[in-house]
Amino acid sequence: MKSFKEMSREELLALQKKLMQEYNEFEALGLTLNMSRGKPSKKQLDLSMGMLDVFESRNRLDSEAGIDCRNYGELRGIYEARRLLADISEVSPDNIIIYGNSSLNVMYDTVARSFTHGVLGNTPWCKLDKVKFLCPVPGYDRHFAITEFFGIEMINIPMTPEGPDMDLVEKYVNSDPAVKGIWCVPKYSNPQGITYSDETVRRFARLKPAAPDFRIYWDNAYSVHHLYPDNQDFCLEILTECEKAGNPDIVYKFTSTSKISFPGSGVAAIATSQNNIKEILKQLSIQTIGHDKVNQLRHVRFFKDLDGVHKHMMKHAEILRPKFELVLNYLDKELSGTEIATWTKPHGGYFISFDSLPGCAKEIVKLAKEVGVVMTGAGATFPYGKDPQDSNIRIAPSFPELDELEQAVKVFCVCVKLASVNKLLEN
């Protein structure tokens, strides 16, 4: 397709008229399609229904150690659940604490604990004049929501194909004691699908923070979420690298089965150093007597081991892959060569990151919504919802069925072209 930037004003006006006709046709259809969040589809949820059949009322619900999972106790989680989540996280079970169903909840608790009681004997953040977090952008809106909720100043760190701009990360972390953390989605990042390079992981491990209570918040959300069996990304294990670099306490690694089993009823965990684990357990022993061990046991008996998880995730990939390919094929067909947009082509995860012409993202999302296609809000992938370029849009292909997704991406492409033509005519 011809570059929009090379078109004359007359050509742009003719194209605008044609696109408005297409847009009005979509408006007349009365669509109600939603691509706003990375929710698994019903078919994906159905993959785990067998988990509900692993127990019967006459079963013994004892762990390998003979612990009755119906009762109180086992604050760190039953050993076999720690082993399974440790294998998913590529760490030792000794470095794992099992929580409830939500890793986001674990991240919130970790920030809250740092605020009220400090980190390993350091001053609680609530008593400091200023607390700052580094935020790779575009990034995960719910991460940013946590830090904003606590009044933490967020600093944008641009993403590169290798991960966050490590020159900037090192500059802030190594020189400013007010910088207490950084959010990271290291594998198939949200929303770009980028996996951090080996050198990026090693540079994280070798940081020399000005703040002794600085921590890397390593959200390992998509560690086994590949789209292609024969084209998978790999990411160095951060706890091991931190240990090698003499920085064993610098990282909290979060994971869950939320997009492996049931998002609302999974199992979450934190992996970290022994020093950090001892401190976390002090808080947990006040907060709870133990998380849901019946659910932990259910997951272990259903998946059995890491190989069982990998086989299960290939079934997820068979459902997700055609959706990603459909969206990417339409973007290529409708927008390649126009010079009005770029987008990522991830090997895994749940999102495609789309960048429009500067100043167009909000208008594209608005146009789509007005004809019944709901996207993630423009700006959501940046702290405070403020995308300086107003260009990034997160595309979430997972939830709609293929026929609905096809309609939605057709609408999206028309909205992208219409908003771009309007912007070029303005200029």
- Averaged pLDDT for residues 323-328: 98
- Averaged pLDDT for residues 152-160: 98
Sheet containing strand 153-160, strands side by side: 96-98, 268-271, 251-256, 215-219, 179-184, 132-137, 153-160, 163-164
Q: Give alpha helix (H) positions in 288-380.
A: 293-303, 306-335, 361-370
What does DSSP assign to residue 119?
S
* Amino acid in the structure at residue 426: E
pLDDT at 58: 81
Q: Which CATH class is domain 4-44+310-426?
A: alpha beta
> Residue 235 corresponds to which tokens in the numbers above?
């990411």
CATH fold of the domain at 65-304: Aspartate Aminotransferase; domain 2 (3.40.640)
pLDDT at 57: 85
What does DSSP assign to residue 385?
G
**Predicted confidence (pLDDT) per residue in 336-361, tens digit:** 999 999 999 999 999 999 999 999 99
Residue with tokens 């007597």: 289
- Averaged pLDDT for residues 89-106: 97
Residues with Cβ within 8 Å of residue 275, at least 6 apart in sequence: 120, 248, 249
Considering the chain, tell me which residue range(s) the CATH 3.40.640.10 domain(s) occupy: 65-304
**Predicted confidence (pLDDT) per residue in 387-419, tens digit:** 999 999 999 999 999 999 999 999 999 999 999
According to DSSP, the β-strands at 341-343 and 268-271 are unpaired
pLDDT at 189: 98
Considering the chain, tell me which residue range(s) the CATH 3.90.1150.10 domain(s) occupy: 4-44+310-426
**Predicted confidence (pLDDT) per residue in 229-261, tens digit:** 999 999 999 999 999 999 999 999 999 999 999
pLDDT at 1: 78
> Residue 37 corresponds to which tokens in the numbers above?
């969040």
- Averaged pLDDT for residues 74-90: 98
Q: Do 250 and 207 form a contact (C-beta atoms < 8 A)?
A: yes
> Residue 195 corresponds to which tokens in the numbers above?
């996996």
Give how far the C-alpha of residue 61 lies from the chain's centroid of Cα atoms, to the nearest Å: 33
Please tell me whether residue 179 adopts helix, strand or coil conformation. Answer: strand
pLDDT-based confidence at 367, cuts 50/70/90? very high
Residue with tokens 């919130």: 108
Please tell me whether residue 376 adopts helix, strand or coil conformation. Answer: coil
CA atoms within 13 A on the CB side of 341: 31
Average pLDDT value for the chain: 97
What kind and span of H or E run contains 181? Answer: strand 179-184
- Rounded Cα gap, residues 257 and 334, in angstroms: 36
**Predicted confidence (pLDDT) per residue in 34-45, tens digit:** 988 899 999 999
Using the predicted structure, report yes or no on whether residue 427 has a pLDDT greater than 90: no
pLDDT at 113: 97
- Rounded Cα gap, residues 231 and 348, in angstroms: 9
pLDDT at 59: 83
